[in-house]
Amino acid sequence: MKLLLASRNTHKAQELAELLPGCTFVLWPASAPEIPEDGAFFQDNALQKATYALRWWKENGTEPVDGALADDSGLCVDALWGGPGVLSARFAPGLDYPAKNKKLLAMIPMEASRAARFVCVLALAPMTGEAFTVGGAVEGSLAYEVRGTEGFGYDPIFVPEGFNQTFGELSSVIKHSLSHRGSAARALVERLR
C-alpha cells in the first residue's frame, strides 16, 4: 500500500515505515501548502490533516497513492493539566527539542506528580471510502533530566511504565513494542485487515 504521509517530519516518517512495513510513504512535498491542524483534540487534528492532504493530492499529486495517512500525537503531563497535549509540536516555538525538553522539565515543580502519557491518533483517508482514526497511548512519567539520544521529540524525558530508562535510552525495538505510535500502528493494521 502506498500512502501519502501528511507530514514533513522525517523522524515520524521513519518510525511509521518501521511500524508499517507493508506500506511505502510519499512525504508531504516542500512545495505544498502547510497542512492545517487547529482542532481541540488529537482525533480532530489527525482527521483534518489526512482529509486535507488527500484533497490537495488529488488535484496536485505527482504519483498515484492509495490514500493519505496523518499522525497527531503529543505528550500529556498531569502536572501541566494535560499539556502540552495537542500543542506538543508548537510548545516553546523557536526552540529545538533538546531546549524544549529542558524547558518543559523546568516547568514541573519538584514535588508535583510526574505522571505523563504519550498519545497518538492515526487517521487514514483512503482514495475511496470514509476516513477513519485509530489510537494508541502509553502511560509513564517524566524523568528529572534529559537522558538518551534514541528516538526524537520528547523521547529523552519520557519513562514508560515498568521501565527505568527513557524512550531516548531504549532501543527502537523496545520503544515500538510499547509506544503510543506503535499501538496506533498495530490498531491500523488490524482495522485494514
**What pLDDT was estimated at residue 179?**
97
Residue that the C-alpha cell 491518533 belongs to: 121
SS3 content of the chain, % helix, strand, coil (to 5): 35, 25, 40
Active-site residue identified among 72, 78, 96, 155: 72
Tens-binned pLDDT, residue by residue, of the chain (193 aa): 999 999 999 999 999 999 999 999 999 999 999 999 999 999 999 999 999 999 999 999 999 999 999 999 999 999 999 999 999 999 999 999 999 999 999 999 999 999 999 999 999 999 999 999 999 999 999 999 999 999 999 999 999 999 999 999 999 999 999 999 999 999 999 999 8
* 72 labelled catalytic: yes
Q: For the chain, list the domains and their CATH numbers.
A: 2-192 (3.90.950.10)
**What pLDDT was estimated at residue 28?**
97
Contact 1, 66 (CB under 8 A): yes
**What pLDDT was estimated at residue 152?**
94
**What pLDDT was estimated at residue 40?**
94
**What pLDDT was estimated at residue 193?**
87
Distance between CA atoms of 187 and 193, rounded to whole angstroms? 10
**What pLDDT was estimated at residue 89?**
92
CA distances from 122 to 46, 70, 72, 115 (A): 6, 6, 7, 24
**What pLDDT was estimated at residue 160?**
98
**What pLDDT was estimated at residue 7?**
95
| Torsional sign, CA 30, 119, 163, 115 | positive
**What pLDDT was estimated at residue 168?**
97
- Judged on CB neighbours under 10 Å (0-12, 13-18, 19+), 89 is middle
